[in-house]
Amino acid sequence: MNEHSRIYVAGHRGLVGSAIVRRLEAGGHKHLLLRSSQELDLRDPVATRRFFEESRPEYVFLAAARVGGILANSRSPVDFLADNLAIQQNVITAAHATGVTKLLFLGSSCIYPRECPQPIREEYLLSGPLERTNEWYAIAKIAGIKLCQAYRQQHGARFISAMPTNLYGPNDNFDLETSHVLPAMIRKFHDATRTGGPVTLWGSGSPRREFLHVDDLADACLFLMQRYEDDSPINVGTGTDVTIRELARLVARAVGFEGEVVWDASKPDGTPRKWLDVSRLTGLGWQARLDLETGLRETVDWFLRSI
């Protein structure tokens, strides 16, 4: 992949896709193929195939997906399963049919079983039951991984998969109905600084989570597109994690909230711990650069500028 390669970033307006675009542009890549969901509905197989036939991308970053937190997953299981299956199927099959040189599929750490040994190694995939609060999304992502592997096995396609840990950063979704835990906290703490009330957070606060700034993920994606050729999905993370209670303290400090935090233990915690083993990736020579406190300050600054 060089600066003249035709590169399609699917989902370029989302958290991950926009970060990949920023990284590609910073690297001097001049031929980016970008379509919004209004311009190209990737759930439509005919429209997707037509785009690939007309645009002929050489490299594809598949970051398009329907995403959301526990609440959104529980309310819309059909959407999270069917939409993601359709997007993946259409893009991956069109990429093969039109001779794409290489494709990187972005999965998620939620593909791993709920009760995984920690840290989570890539080979633990499909070794136990999934976390029920996000199983619809996870099943779709597992299908995407397996479709890439199937194309590699049957057709020799250079399709690879990366499994990022929990992400945050610019262009995240801060809607309380559909967001993940970290941006939801930023929104709640910010709103509470204006109203003066307490902040209520779901669960006990005891689960542990790993958080990766999306700009680090984008850098890892370009690294993998250039250097990774293995059949197995590869984890992308920081190698460190925090409790949700610790995260709440960090977010409150970054936002400037000094009020009361109430933990609603009647709400689900989700998976007890998700901490990725990233030794395969670091062994290739890549590691995350942004620590959580620095990344949080940058994300809060971006959020405040955007509202």
pLDDT band at 67 (very low <50, low <70, confident <90, very high): confident
Residue 178: closest CA among 216, 140, 134: 134
Place of tokens 């680090």: 216
**Active-site residue, selected from the candidate residues 137, 151, 168, 228:** 137
Taking every pair of Cα atoms in the chain, the longest distance, rounded to a whole number of angstroms, is 60
Tokens representing 303 are 């959020």
Residue 241: closest CA among 130, 165, 132: 165
Whether residue 126 is predicted with pLDDT greater than 80 in this model: the reply is yes
Residue 128 has a CB neighbour count (10 Å cut-off) of: 12
Q: What is the pLDDT of residue 292?
A: 97
Q: At what angle do helices 181-195 and 292-306 cross, to 10 degrees?
A: 60
Strand pairing report for 208-209 and 242-243: antiparallel
Instruction: Mark whether 137 is an active-site residue.
Output: yes
> Using an 8 Å Cβ cutoff, are 241 and 273 in contact?
yes
Q: Which fold has domain 6-172+211-240+275-290?
A: Rossmann fold (3.40.50)
pLDDT band at 267 (very low <50, low <70, confident <90, very high): very high
* φ/ψ bin of 306: left (φ > 0), alpha (ψ from -120 to 50), beta (otherwise): alpha
pLDDT in tens, 210-238: 999 999 999 999 999 999 999 999 999 99
pLDDT band at 158 (very low <50, low <70, confident <90, very high): very high
Residue 38 has a CB neighbour count (10 Å cut-off) of: 7
pLDDT in tens, 289-304: 999 999 999 999 999 9
Read off φ and ψ for residue 55, nearest 5 degrees: -90, -25
